[in-house]
Amino acid sequence: MTDWIPWAVAKKDFKVIRRKRSIIGYTVGVPLALAVVFSLVVSNDVTTASAGTAAVGMGALTYIFVILSAVLPTSTAAYSIVGEKVEKSLEPLLATPTSDGDLLLGKALAAFLPAVLAIWAGALILMAATDSMTYSVFSGYYFPSWTPVIMLFLLVPLSAMLGIEVAVTLSSRVSDVRGANQLGGLLYLPFLAFFIAGVDGVFSFSIANLLLFSGVLVVADVAMFFLSKATFNRENILTKWK
């Protein structure tokens, strides 16, 4: 059976990225390290916090995984075009009759899956660790509840896709991996602003607010996909990049 074309592109990228230990270490290591650090924070602070304060704190810690999801996959996404071009492994793929949409979707999948799975793994570690420490504060288990579920299983994938689409678009326009990473990393700023507003009490991490934010991300994801497809120029990458 013939592979779905975007999946075939993604599998090819998996093989290339697997040789890059720095990218793998960053993608897998950061979420797991954050889970351990956040668990230590909870263990130090939860016994002296009220239920309301603890809930805000847990929502804030969980939301940091959303911020991470917008930034974490950008290294893989940027490398998938700029890095491969530098290493002369991109030209054979660009020379095939694969459509630009299939090519971009495949590269997005290759960046999306490892990052999101690593974030979910880190979040599950945090959930398991903190539930054992917060039972007495909440008179029950904080996880799972709708707020972290929406953050992790709706906002995280949507944020990751937006970060990837921005990184792929930028990396198809520049010829330097570091430059693409730095520009793509700026995407964390609006997510950080949402975080600060939530922590400062400008609004809460309520289900309604999170769903509204999710709707905004859906629109941004769709718009960014069509923008990236419209601006992607394989002929320019093949003939003008040095």
For 80-90, b/e burial (b = at least 16 CB within 10 A) is bbbbbbeeeeb
124: number of Cβ within 10 Å: 13
In a domain, 242, yes or no: no
List pLDDT tens digits, range 149-172: 999 999 999 999 998 888 877 776
Total domains in the fold of the chain: 1
Tokens of 141: 């288990």
In a domain, 100, yes or no: yes
List pLDDT tens digits, range 122-131: 999 988 888 8
Average pLDDT for residues 135-141, to the nearest whole number? 69
Tokens of 85: 């071009």
Rounded to 10 degrees, the C-alpha dihedral 144/145/146/147 comes to: -100
In a domain, 241, yes or no: no
In a domain, 205, yes or no: yes
pTM: 0.83
Which range of residues forms the domain containing residue 156? Answer: 5-235
In a domain, 192, yes or no: yes
**C-alpha–C-alpha distance, residues 80 and 46, integer Å:** 42
